[in-house]
């Protein structure tokens, strides 16, 4: 769907109005100027509608640019499938397409990366499949390297605990990179999550002291409090975390396929 059509549907205006406003904005006209002096061209759209239009136009264009960049990156890696391409093109938000891109985005060297270098990816996949009939410790023994001189010291797997931990690191990254799972966590965090704010140093006075020991349900936080807490975190007075019901995530996790 063209951006003009999307905007006309979202803002309940005619497609011709959307096309006119886009042209006026692209010609360098400001929103106040368009609202006051171009009523005939816009069908008398008011200042509030035009500001919403301008913000959404910028967002949608940024979204299209992101899609193009992401598709090009994944295609260059030789990993772009028809299914993935469709999912990216159908994406409605930047967050959604960035979640889809996450598994293909170049990462810094992580604990999961190191675990893969140690040859523990197969063990991670075995654990994920949840089809083993013997203790995982027994299977992990197959991935021990001991003090094999042919293997660099930092890539050796010395005991079963180390092997299992490495496999868990890989599994954690697989889950983190799963777009469906990230979407579920985001939704749960908003609906049932609780924001907890703490002071980095309680002895330091600041305008954010009311948030030094503060908690509230995410869905009920007023916008002005969100802005204040964000500023407090940015200025390094506050530590922020969001607690999400673990049970719901575990239930979802058990029904997911990766």
Quick check: is 59 in a domain?
yes
Q: Which domain holds residue 233?
A: 193-255
- The CATH number assigned to the domain holding 54 equals 1.10.10.650
* Domain match, 9 and 99 both: yes
Contacts of 18 (CB under 8 A, 6+ apart): 4, 5, 7, 8, 11, 53
Q: How many CA atoms lie within 13 A of 60 on its CB side?
A: 17
* Domain match, 12 and 79 both: yes
Q: How much is the pLDDT for 246?
A: 63
Q: How much is the pLDDT for 146?
A: 74
Domain count, the chain: 3
* Domain match, 116 and 100 both: no
* Domain match, 47 and 131 both: no
Q: How far is CA 18 from the centre of its chain?
A: 30
Quick check: is 185 in a domain?
no
Per-residue pLDDT tens, the chain, 258 aa: give them: 589 999 999 999 999 999 999 999 999 999 999 999 999 999 999 999 999 999 999 999 999 999 999 999 999 999 999 999 999 999 999 999 999 999 998 878 889 999 999 999 999 999 999 888 899 999 999 999 877 667 888 888 989 999 999 999 999 999 888 888 888 888 888 888 999 999 999 889 899 999 999 999 999 999 999 999 999 999 999 999 988 876 554 444 434 433
Quick check: is 181 in a domain?
no
Q: How much is the pLDDT for 254?
A: 39
Q: Which one of 73, 104, 135 terminates a domain?
A: 104
Q: How much is the pLDDT for 185?
A: 82
* Domain match, 93 and 121 both: no
Partner residues linked to 199 by β-bridges: 238
């Amino acid at each position: 769907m063209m951006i003009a059509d999307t905007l006309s549907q979202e803002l309940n205006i005619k497609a011709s109005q959307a096309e006119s406003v886009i042209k006026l904005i692209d010609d360098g006209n400001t929103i106040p100027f368009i609202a006051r002096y171009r009523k005939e061209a816009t069908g008398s759209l008011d200042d509030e509608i035009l500001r919403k239009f301008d913000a959404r136009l910028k967002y949608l264009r940024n979204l299209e640019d992101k899609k193009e960049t992401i598709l090009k990156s994944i295609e260059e890696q030789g990993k772009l499938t028809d299914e993935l391409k469709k999912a990216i093109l159908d994406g409605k938000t930047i967050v959604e397409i960035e979640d889809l891109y996450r598994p293909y985005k170049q990462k810094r060297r992580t604990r999961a990366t190191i675990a893969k270098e140690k040859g523990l990816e197969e063990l991670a996949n075995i654990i994920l499949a949840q089809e083993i009939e013997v203790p995982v410790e027994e299977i992990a023994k197959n991935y021990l390297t001991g003090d094999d001189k042919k293997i660099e010291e930092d890539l050796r797997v010395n005991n079963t605990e180390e092997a299992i931990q490495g496999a868990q690191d890989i599994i954690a990254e697989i889950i983190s990179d799963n777009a469906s799972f990230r979407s579920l966590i985001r939704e749960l965090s908003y609906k049932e999550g609780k924001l907890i704010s703490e002071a980095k140093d309680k002895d330091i006075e600041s305008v954010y002291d009311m948030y030094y020991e503060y908690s509230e349900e995410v869905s009920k936080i007023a916008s002005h409090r969100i802005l204040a807490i964000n500023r407090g975190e940015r200025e390094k007075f506050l530590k922020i975390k969001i607690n999400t019901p673990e049970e719901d995530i575990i239930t979802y996790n058990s029904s997911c396929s990766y």
